[in-house]
Amino acid sequence: MPAITLPDGSIRQFDGAVTGTTIAAAIGPGLAKAALAMEVDGKLRDLSASISQDAKLRFITRRDPEALEMIRHDCAHVLAEAVQALYPGTQVTIGPSIENGFYYDFARNDPFTPDHFAKIEAKMREIIARNDAFLREEWEREDAIRFFTEKGERYKAELIQDLPKSEIISIYKQGAWTDLCRGPHMRGTGDIGTAFKLMKVAGAYWRGDHRNAMLSRIYGTAWRDQKELDAYLLQLEEAEKRDHRKIGKEMGLFHLQDEAVGSVFWHPKGWRLYRTVEAYMRRRLDIAEYQEVKTPQLVDRKLWEASGHWEKFRENMFVARVEDEDEKDRVLALKPMNCPCHVQIFNQGLRSYRELPLRMAEFGACHRYEPSGALHGIMRVRSFVQDDAHIFCAEEQIADETVRFVALLSSIYRDFGFTEFRVKFSDRPARRAGTDAVWDQAEGALKDACRIAGVEYELNPGEGAFYGPKLEFVLRDAIGRDWQCGTLQVDFVLPERLDAEYVAEDGARRRPVMLHRAILGSFERFLGILIEEHAGRFPLWLAPVQVVVATIVDEAAPFARQAAAALQKAGVAVSLDLRNEKINRKVVDHIDQRVPVLAVIGRREAEEGTIVLRRLPGRDQETLKLADAVALLAAEATPPDLRG
């Protein structure tokens, strides 16, 4: 006699086991029509599942967030059925819902291409129109394995084989098509609706392991209705317009070319942006009591052997030799990291505990041979500059330094316009240096430090650096990809390997702990993110060209030159537009170039000693005396850390 408690607190009694379908019908025809699935005591279930005991129940309708996920999951099933109907011999594997959609991985000799989409989508619409019910069955493990093996579905058979013994093997049928699936599903394929679209194909390794076969993955997106789908597609288009590669080209910030794959050619405007960020960082680091250093690019293999890089990191390093016969056995490598060089500076002379924590900073240019498929605009390159620093400290200083670091990073991110970022805690990787005891110590110290600093993080198992666990500070780009920017890593290994030590209060020699840390991560990546965050329309202090002085007639040119010179003297990044073009044209061009302020000078202004300021892309104008305009713009262009 189950008593069903509904979200409004009302209770309904039933004689014996009931299904969600029955309950919904008992409540009313509207709900019976709208209910797609249900949540029983917090667990999502098929509407057709039966309930035999007292339970709290909530129906899932199309408006609930769970419904969107189910639409996508069900859509993946329909995709799989469609594909197998059209392309016999294709094996199914897995097909989950993901953010904004779903995918399905297929095993097939000839991978799918976008040319297949139209046909597959049409078949999917057929299946949805048929509105077959999703029927759940629970099978014996051996039966299921036999069934899929006989069908030639060896990936499915393998999945079942590897399911934990406690797992119930559930099978879902839609019409004649059968799949292994945990569920739950909506009532039938018709509940999916028609607001879906196949988006792209990609290779994906079976079980995410590059040693396994590559499957053919089809991505799709699915929504409640056409309006939502259209909105999503529009949002994608808008996001593409923010792409830093596109904006970098349009604004003339940088370029990339084949002769220097993975390295950035910074153009004058891009480099000005870079320098603005660098100068800002330098001021922040000075105040935070970092000491800036500069260390060599090319370093002998011997140091990389000692640090462990030669063993753990060699395939990512650029190695250099010279032609000279006497020197031919000498192997140098371009530094992929700055840490070993910083230890060399630390190791000059005898250090005292009084010098700790010693914060050594470097805008260090690093080279790493990244896999070709990993390169991405200026966000993932082979040559980049880190805002790197290593804090040499005693173990008991780790927490305090972490607190200070997180505060510094947060303040800096805020100044750049990033108010939200995520933190991941990456612990010991499979390929690592140092004993388990040392890793226990390092991970424990970092966790304690996070607790004290009040940092909330998500776990990212096995992704730490080879020498220590790390915190990753993650920012998101325009199309929703996550990028690690800041990082804080606790390292007990390198000081040991490179024999760093200091004299403690009691006169004994001790090993310092090294905290590897970066805030921007790399200038290249951070600037890429920054461009996308602002869509190239930077706050004034960051804009590479802050003001353009544009003339209306040639005779205004002398005063325009004078105005530009005054702005330049006041520290404003200004450029002149004296072209033989109408002012309309100049306005359009500078809006395109994302110039924040246009200063217009015509005959009248030249005579009166004024300029007209227009904030692009807006239309409002204000007329000011030149001196006032200069003072105003100079104040506005002041970096946030230098404001009064």
| Least Cβ distance, residue 292 to RNA (angstroms) | 19
- Our CB check for RNA shows the closer of 276 and 551 to be 551
- Give catalytic status of residue 376 as yes or no: no
- Give catalytic status of residue 235 as yes or no: no
- Give catalytic status of residue 388 as yes or no: yes
- Our CB check for RNA shows the closer of 67 and 595 to be 595
3-state secondary structure of 585: helix
Residues 91, 174, 386, 397: which is the catalytic one?
Answer: 386
354 closest CA partner among 391, 393, 328, 406? 393
512 closest CA partner among 369, 322, 317, 345? 345
| Least Cβ distance, residue 304 to RNA (angstroms) | 13
Q: Is 490 exposed, middle or buried (0-12, 13-18, 19+ CB in 10 A)?
A: buried
Q: Describe the strand order of the beta sheet including 11-13 as a list of residue ranges.
A: 11-13, 3-5, 55-60, 37-40, 43-46
| Least Cβ distance, residue 283 to RNA (angstroms) | 24
| Distance, CA of 361 to CA of 293 (rounded, Å) | 6
| Least Cβ distance, residue 122 to RNA (angstroms) | 20
- Give catalytic status of residue 390 as yes or no: yes
- Our CB check for RNA shows the closer of 172 and 467 to be 467
606 closest CA partner among 559, 551, 552? 559
Residues 73, 116, 272, 368: which is the catalytic one?
Answer: 368
- Give catalytic status of residue 339 as yes or no: yes
Residues 390, 432, 510, 614: which is the catalytic one?
Answer: 390
Segment (H or E) for 201:
strand 196-205
Residues 123, 217, 342, 470: which is the catalytic one?
Answer: 470
- Give catalytic status of residue 516 as yes or no: yes
601 closest CA partner among 612, 615, 590? 612
Rounded to 5°, angle at Cα 633 from 630 and 639 = 130
DSSP 8-state assignment for residue 588: H
- Our CB check for RNA shows the closer of 28 and 618 to be 618
* DSSP secondary structure string for all residues of 68-114: HHHHHHHHHHHHHHHHHHHSTTPEE----EETTEEEEEEE-SS---G
| Least Cβ distance, residue 431 to RNA (angstroms) | 7
How many helical (H) and strand (E) elements, i.e. helices and strands, does the chain have? 20, 36
- Our CB check for RNA shows the closer of 351 and 614 to be 614
- Give catalytic status of residue 368 as yes or no: yes
- Our CB check for RNA shows the closer of 188 and 464 to be 464
| Least Cβ distance, residue 27 to RNA (angstroms) | 42
Residues 243, 388, 427, 491: which is the catalytic one?
Answer: 388
Residues 45, 269, 516, 590: which is the catalytic one?
Answer: 516
Catalytic residues: 339, 368, 386, 388, 390, 470, 516
